[in-house]
């Protein structure tokens, strides 16, 4: 089951170990794509073949709604995607361009998530993940303050 977060080393060849407990859900490997958080932080998402197909299907299904921006997003996913098969030590090799996109050098944080109802994991540069989480916490606080203000108005 893909749960939790792990900090792993990234070697000079871009290889990183995927936690053993995640392997049963991942099959023989993953497709790694570039991703962008609402905070503006760059990271990578590792998807099973099924999650990758579902993601592409989601974009195709919503193409009419998003127009050209959807085509740009789909192109970006396909253009920079890399198929990463597990080696004998159950590591994946991520290409240098994708690691550079996410700012990943010596260490990465692998963290569980869900995409298109499929378990996936994200690959983050540790400080970028921390900045993203802080940004989310601040956004969440702002949303809570807005809800409280609305409730106060309704009480008057």
CA 113/CA 22 separation, integer angstroms? 12
* Placement of tokens 């999650």 in the chain: 51
Q: How confident is the model at residue 144 (pLDDT cuts 50, 70, 90)?
A: confident
Residues 15-56 have pLDDT tens digits of 999 999 999 999 899 999 999 998 899 999 999 988 988 888
Q: How many CB atoms lie within 10 A of CB 26?
A: 22
CA 21/CA 26 separation, integer angstroms? 10
Q: How many CB atoms lie within 10 A of CB 3?
A: 12
pTM over 0.85: no
Domains with residue ranges and CATH for the chain: 5-126 (3.40.1550.20)
Q: How confident is the model at residue 128 (pLDDT cuts 50, 70, 90)?
A: very high
Cβ neighbors of 57 (< 8 A, separation 6 or more) are: 116
Residues 95-117 have pLDDT tens digits of 999 999 999 999 999 999 988 78
Percent over 70 (pLDDT), the chain = 91
Q: Tell me, what's the pLDDT at 62? A: 67
Average pLDDT of the chain is 87
Buried b (16+ CB within 10 A) or exposed e, 80-111: ebbebebeeeebbbbeeebbebbebeeebbbb
Residues 52-86 have pLDDT tens digits of 888 888 777 765 555 556 677 777 778 999 999 99
């Amino acid at each position: 089951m893909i749960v939790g977060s792990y900090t792993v080393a990234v070697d000079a060849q871009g290889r990183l170990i995927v936690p053993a407990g995640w392997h049963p859900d991942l099959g023989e490997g993953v497709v790694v794509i570039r991703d962008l958080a609402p905070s503006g932080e760059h990271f990578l998402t590792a998807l099973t073949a099924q999650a990758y197909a579902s993601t592409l299907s989601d974009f195709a299904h919503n193409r009419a709604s998003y127009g050209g921006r959807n085509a740009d997003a789909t192109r970006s996913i396909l253009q920079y995607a890399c198929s990463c098969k597990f080696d004998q030590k159950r590591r994946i090799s991520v290409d240098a361009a994708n690691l550079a996109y996410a700012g990943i050098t010596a260490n990465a944080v692998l963290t569980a998530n869900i995409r298109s109802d499929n378990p996936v994991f994200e690959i983050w540069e540790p400080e970028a993940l921390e900045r993203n989480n802080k940004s989310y916490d601040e956004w969440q606080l702002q949303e809570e303050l807005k809800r409280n203000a609305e409730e106060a108005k309704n009480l008057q």
